């Protein structure tokens, strides 16, 4: 009987807005391996259109032979289905929730014989990680993400000043003096930084005591409306959104643009970019998903802020 070698298992973690999906897209674009990719951030899949061959709403077949799935609530079920078809894949990659502990996902590879933990990679936004680690609402969550990772990748280094990059390295080094810190470049290949770390895990899987809920300190908000945003009103509304809102992203329509737009907000920084061809045909529809701290204002209050950005005809 032939026994298959364990499949390398990589977990990509990092706080909301650190750039996990951007990194994942870069990896998939350049990869020659067949990857099974599970995405848990916001429970959505966000993969570049050029990579997609077919999409059934939950699972994407990618042009390079990879498969990308939305984890949702059934992580173990999804992983089990992928492992049942183990011969199809060279690697399993997990994009963990931005407010979760990536090590808790990595532990699965330590107890599942068909998997081999290849590494836990955590992204950190060089422009704000030093402040985030000191934030009383989110600091503990972020520090825990570094506790048992194999490498920290500093993202957005092109946007960060020299002092911000130095502060990022200092705060991460204070949490984990032994962890390697690598700066991501927009042009340099990223495959070597993520895959093939090649070291056995230094940490052991631990039994779960009681109920583990890594998102209990955070609250989600979904904004759905027919119609379009007015760009100027949207700019004003974003300034009124509360600081407790950490991340907001989704698909919308904006006056003056024929294509659907991808809306992204991290802290006070926001952007609109044309959606790729894989985005759903939202017609005259706005759908945004947000995450904030536990003291995030009510959905009604948040809805009212963005409602002011709708066009007069909406």
Give 10-residue mean pLDDT values along the chain (314 residues): 73 90 84 81 60 62 67 70 74 86 88 88 95 91 93 92 95 95 82 71 49 65 91 94 89 85 85 69 75 90 96 64
With a CB cutoff of 8 Å and minimum separation 6, the contacts of 160 are: 126, 127, 154, 168
Residue bearing tokens 């997609």: 52
Report the alpha-carbon distance of residue 292 to residue 138 in Å, rounded: 10
Total tally of structural domains belonging to the chain: 2
On whether both 60 and 187 belong to a single domain, the answer is: yes
Give the pLDDT confidence score for residue 187 in this predicted structure: 72
Report the alpha-carbon distance of residue 103 to residue 100 in Å, rounded: 9
Q: Which domain holds residue 256?
A: 218-307
Question: Do 7 and 92 touch, CB atoms closer than 8 A?
Answer: yes
Q: What is the CATH number of the domain that holds 232?
A: 3.30.1220.10
Domain boundary at 162, 194, 226, which? 194
In the chain, how long is the greatest CA-to-CA distance?
A: 69
Give the pLDDT confidence score for residue 209 in this predicted structure: 41
Q: How far from the centroid of its chain's Cα atoms is residue 82's Cα?
A: 21
Answer yes or no: is 233 within a domain: yes
On whether both 63 and 135 belong to a single domain, the answer is: yes
Backbone angles phi, psi at 233, to 5 degrees: -65, -35
Instruction: Return the beta strands (E) in the chain as ranges.
Output: 7-14, 35-39, 52-55, 59-62, 67-70, 91-95, 115-125, 151-155, 181-183, 218-226, 245-252, 261-266, 269-274, 285-293
Backbone angles phi, psi at 45, to 5 degrees: -105, 135
Give the pLDDT confidence score for residue 211 in this predicted structure: 45
On whether both 56 and 178 belong to a single domain, the answer is: yes
Beta bridge partners of 265: 248, 270
pTM: 0.78
Tokens, residue 225: 């409306």
On whether both 122 and 238 belong to a single domain, the answer is: no
Answer yes or no: is 277 within a domain: yes
């Amino acid at each position: 009987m032939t026994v298959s070698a364990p499949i390398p298992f990589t977990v990509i973690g990092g706080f909301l807005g650190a750039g996990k999906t951007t990194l994942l897209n870069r990896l998939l674009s350049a990869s020659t391996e067949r990857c099974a990719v599970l995405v848990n951030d916001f429970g959505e899949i966000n993969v570049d259109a050029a990579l997609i061959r077919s999409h059934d709403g939950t699972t994407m077949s990618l042009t390079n032979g990879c498969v990308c799935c939305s984890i949702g609530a059934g992580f173990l079920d999804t992983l089990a289905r992928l492992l049942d078809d183990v011969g199809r894949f060279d690697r399993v990659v997990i994009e963990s929730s931005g407010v979760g502990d990536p090590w808790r996902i990595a532990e699965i590879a330590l107890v599942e014989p068909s998997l081999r933990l290849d590494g836990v990679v955590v992204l950190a936004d060089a422009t704000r990680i030093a402040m985030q680690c000191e934030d009383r609402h989110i600091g503990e969550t972020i520090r825990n993400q570094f506790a048992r990772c194999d490498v920290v990748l500093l993202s957005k280094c092109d946007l960060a000043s020299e002092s911000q990059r130095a502060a990022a390295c200092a705060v991460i080094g204070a949490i984990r003096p032994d962890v390697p810190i690598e700066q991501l470049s927009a042009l340099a290949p990223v495959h070597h930084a993520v895959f093939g770390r090649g070291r056995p895990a230094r940490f052991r899987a631990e039994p779960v005591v009681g109920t583990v809920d890594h998102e209990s300190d955070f609250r989600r908000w979904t904004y759905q409306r027919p119609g379009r945003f007015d760009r100027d009103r949207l700019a004003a509304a974003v300034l009124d959104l509360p600081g407790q809102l950490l991340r907001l992203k989704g698909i919308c329509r904006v006056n003056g643009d024929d294509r659907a737009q991808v809306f992204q907000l991290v802290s006070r920084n926001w952007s609109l970019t044309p959606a790729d061809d894989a985005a759903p045909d939202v017609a005259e529809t706005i759908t945004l998903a947000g995450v904030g701290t536990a003291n995030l204002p009510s959905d009604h209050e948040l809805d009212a802020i963005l409602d002011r950005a709708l066009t007069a005809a909406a």
